[in-house]
Structures are given as structure tokens and as C-alpha cells.
Structure 1
Amino acid sequence: MNRIMASLNRLWRLVMTGFCFALFGTGGLLLSLVWFNLLLLVQRNRTKRRRLARRSISASFRFFLGVTRWLGVLDYRIQNLDALRSERGCLIVANHPTLIDYVIIASVMPETDCLVKGALLRNPFVSGVIRAADYLINSEAETLLAASQHRLAQGDTLLIFPEGTRTRSGEAITLQRGAANIAVRCQRDMRLVIIHCSEHLLDKKSQWYDIPPKKPIFSVNVCERVQIHDFYDAHQQEPALAARQLNRHLQHRFTSGLQSLSGINDASALS
């Protein structure tokens, strides 16, 4: 009987996962074609329009995650959420195990900025969202540092996934140096966010229909603030050297944090 119930539950999650993908794509198109165009007409101030667009995206993500949780597709827990919501003028740096990490973080940070891959501008379901939110594009290398400095100086938070792509299951985390370079050259602190998913879901090697045997649970741990002055003194160090040292610290911190979260989840599963 238990085996039959488990099979039925997995089938239910497969069907509902397909529904949620369709819901996400449809929502992205509706936001782009209807709501964001309406904002262009009613709000001429670019800064206010960008703020409204980001708040709309965050509200949409909260609705989407609420649906996935209600349908039993997945669940998520965020520790130390108040610290994340209170951040201003710093980088939010997170690991990237699954396709919906950005969705989870942006759902609880209504006005966060984000550094995204230029390739996503060719995706019809999210390109309008990226443009309306005026996210920074990582392929615009000539202006990226100056734009990051300007936005951080005006109090924006900048969400970055320094791996550059989703983590490959079973492989060690490898960070690109972009986030560390921005932190050092803009002299801004970082807030670390470590994300762990209890099952293989929407990772680098998975398709949407690869449904795990158990409902996935996301553990999002909002960790300490990394003080940039601990790694960089403009009077004594070269920025490139400081960025390498900071990057090594981030890589070690993500690795140890994930091992800790994995151990906690394994212990919970056995208890």
C-alpha cells in the first residue's frame, strides 16, 4: 500500500510540475505583454517604473511559490529572513543548485537588482521581465562595474550567483571571480545565502519531468555579512589579489555551509 501511495504521489507531482511550468511561462508572458506595457503608459519616471516592476515580479513569484507549495510540488524554508530583507547597498551572493533559486530569493526581496546572463534576453518568457526590472547584464562588461557602483551607492542590493550557472550534481562548487571583483572594486560588503535542495530537482543535469521520489524541500540559509574591509585595503593591496582571496573565502564558505545543511537534512530524514 505504501508503494502504491508513493507512486501516486510521484505521478501527482509530475502532473502538477508540468502545470506549474506552464503557469510560470504564462505569467511571464502576461507580465511582459500586458502589465509592463501598462506601466510604460502610466508611469513615466524610469526609477519609479523600475521599482514597480520589481515589486510586481516579487509578488508574482510569491504567488507562484505559494501554488507550488499548496499543490505539494515542493516546499521551502528560509532562515534569518529579516537579515536578508533589511539589506541595503550590498551584494547578495548565493550558490545556484536549481533553476528556481532566483525565484525564491526575489520573492522575499521586492526591490532587489540582479546580475543575469545575456543569453536570457533571447528567452521569450523572461526577457520582458529582465528588461522591465532593468537588471544588469553580465555580457555588458564595459559598463557593468560602473553600473554596479552606481546602483549599490543608491542603496540597491545586487543578487549574484557567482558560479555563473547551476551547480553540477556531485561536483565541487567553482566560483567565477565576477562577484568578488565587484565587491572589491566597489568596496561593498556581501551577504551570503546558501541554498540546499533535499532532492535532485531542476539542476544542471535534470529535465522538468525528472521528478524525485520524495517532495523536494529547499533550505535557504541567510548567513553572515562578509565585511569587505577584512579582505581589501586600497592603500595596501591590489584589487585583483584581494578579489582572488575573497573568492577563495566564498568558495570555502559555500562548500562548508552546504555540507552542514546536507548533514542536517540527512539527520532529519533518518529521525
Structure 2
Amino acid sequence: MRPILRLAKAVLLAPPLYLLLLGLGLMSLAWNLVAMVLYPLLPAGRGRDVGRAAIAHGYRLFWTVACACGMMRIDARCLSALRDEQGLVIIANHPTMLDALLLVAHLPHSACIMKASLMRNVFLGAGARLARYIRNDSARTMVRLAVDDLREGGQLVVFPEGTRTTGGRLNAFRPGVTLIARLAQAPIQTVFIDTDSPYLGKGWPIWRVPPLPIVFHLRLGERFAPMADSNGLTARLEQYFQQHLTPGPAPEAAAAECQSPRAPTLS
């Protein structure tokens, strides 16, 4: 009986979830068309401010609608203390593909380091370029742009694992963030993203309905001063996250927890 009830629930909740994601896609596409026009017209500084504020407001709207219709429950109140702070590096664990959307929605002055391929994405690229997000195809250029942005009062959101956390098991931290902090003389604020939802984690496709509501709870950790020994600070940060991270569900258990109808295959 239980599997039948879970399947029935998944069938009923699939349409609103897909409509929510469709709305996000259409909103992103519309803004990127506008950003494509604004990019050559606005000075770099003004374009950065407009681009980041627009992205934050758009994602904030998405989260508000998702919570209002009962699909998600989000507690990100801790980020309000960081909202207007300048020259700050913010690092977090990375359980799902929604993490960046969650952070920048509440940090309207922040920039992300993005894969170079995403800068060409029709749903993300033009908006990211207008907001002067930082591409990662060249390590030297990435570090220089990030340092310049921090010195100009921006914030930098980084997931030092470089890929999504799996079941609360942290991946090894990459050293770039501590080098950026040292060169910019910017403090590093740690943020923990706690969720027991498997949705859009490693191995969870976008069309599979997860247990609902999806719950995110964010909490601030310690703040670390930049150090001359960047590698030593990277090791300290990784150890700190290992000690204070709340374990998530194992991927196998999460997949068994909620089965949902498969999306049709286009041939």
C-alpha cells in the first residue's frame, strides 16, 4: 500500500513542480534577452549592479512562489546579516544544484564563479555577463577578476568542493578560494546548507519528484581571516566543514524513498 500511496502522491505533485521549474526557465530566458540588450549600453559598474540585483530579485521571487505553494520550506534568515557587507568571500557546502540560486537570491551584491560553458547558456549567459560573474576557464584570469571584484566592494560566493556534496560526505576542497582571499585581503565567511532532500543532488534527475516539501536551512559558521599559507587555510576550512556538516541522505536510500513517474523520452 505504501508504494502505491507514494506513487499517487508523486503523480499529483509532479505537475506543480514542473510548472514551477518551467516558470523559472521562462523567467531566466526573458531576463537574459533583456540583459543581452543592456550589456553594451550600460557602463561596467552600473551593469554589474543592475545585473546582480535583477538576478537576486528573480530568484527571490522563485523561492517565494515555491514556498507559498507548499513545494519548499526555506530558512535563510542568517544571510540578512551579510547582505550589505563589502569585500567578503562566502563559502558553502554544495548538496544540490539549487544552492547557488539560494545564496545569490539573498545576497544581491554577490558574484559566482561559473563554468565557462554556462556563460554560453541561453538561460544564464547574458545575465551572468551583465552581472560580471566570473568564468573559470583560465585560473589566472579567474583569480584576477575575483580579487578585483572583492576590492571594489563585491561579494564572492564559492563552493570550494567544485562539485556537489554527496550524502553529507564532503569532497576535497580546491585551493583557489583561499588564494583569492589572501590576495584581496578578504575574510572568508562559512555557510552551511542543511537539507534532507535528494532533489538535484548527485544522480537525481530534474524530472523525478522528490519527497515534498523540499526543506533548506542555512546557518552561519565561523569567519576565517586570510592567511599567507593558502594551502594550510584550505585544509583548516575542509576540516571545519567536516566537523560541522549535517549529514544528508545517502543517494541510494534517497532514491528508494520516493519513486516518481518517468518523463517521456523524445526520439
> How would you bin the TM-score normalised by the shorter chain?
0.7 to 0.9
Match of 1:250 in 2: 237
| Counterpart for residue 58 of structure 1 | 56
2:217 is aligned with 1:201: no
Partner of 1:88: 86
Partners of 2:236 and 2:121 lie apart in 1 by: 34
Measure the CA separation in 1 of the matches of 2:168 and 2:32: 37
- Contact in 2 for aligned 1:13/1:72 (Cα 8 Å): no
When the two structures are superposed, what TM-score results if normalisation uses the length of structure 2? Answer: 0.84
Decide whether the 8 Å contact of 2:51 with 2:128 is kept in 1: no
Partner of 1:19: 19
Distance 1:134 1:251, change over 3 A: same
2:105 is matched with which residue: 104, 107, 121? Answer: 107
Amino acid at match of 1:24: L
The one-letter code sitting in structure 1 at the alignment partner of 2:31 is L
Distance, in Å, in 1 between the alignment partners of 2:186 and 2:48 is: 23
The residue aligned with 2:260 is: none
Cα-Cα RMSD? 2.4
- The answer for the alignment partner of 1:269 in structure 2 is none
TM-score (norm 1): 0.83
Indicate the structure with greater helix content. 1
Alignment partners' CA distance in 2, 1:62 and 1:146: 29
Post-superposition Cα deviations, 1:33-77, rounded to whole Å, max 9, x if no partner, equal: 1x2245347x53221122111111111001111111122222111
Secondary structure at the aligned position of 2:209 is classed as: coil
Aligned equivalents of 1:178 and 1:120: distance in 2? 20
Asked whether the equivalents of residues 167 and 248 of structure 2 are also in contact (C-alpha less than 8 Å), the reply is no
Deviations 1:218-252 (A, max 9, x none): 11112222122xxx2xxxxxx4xx12211111112
Q: Structure 1 residues 148, 214: closer, same or farther in 2, change over 3 A?
A: closer
Render the CA deviation track for 1:152-186: whole Å, top value 9, x for unaligned. 11111111111112123364332111112212233
How many residue pairs were aligned? 249
> In structure 2, what is the equivalent of residue 268 of structure 1?
none
| 1:39 aligned onto 2:26 | no
**What residue ranges of structure 1 are gaps of 5+ in the alignment?**
233-238, 263-271
Amino acid at match of 2:16: M
Contact 1:173 1:255 in 2 (8 A): no
Q: Distance in 1 between matches of 2:115 and 2:193?
A: 20
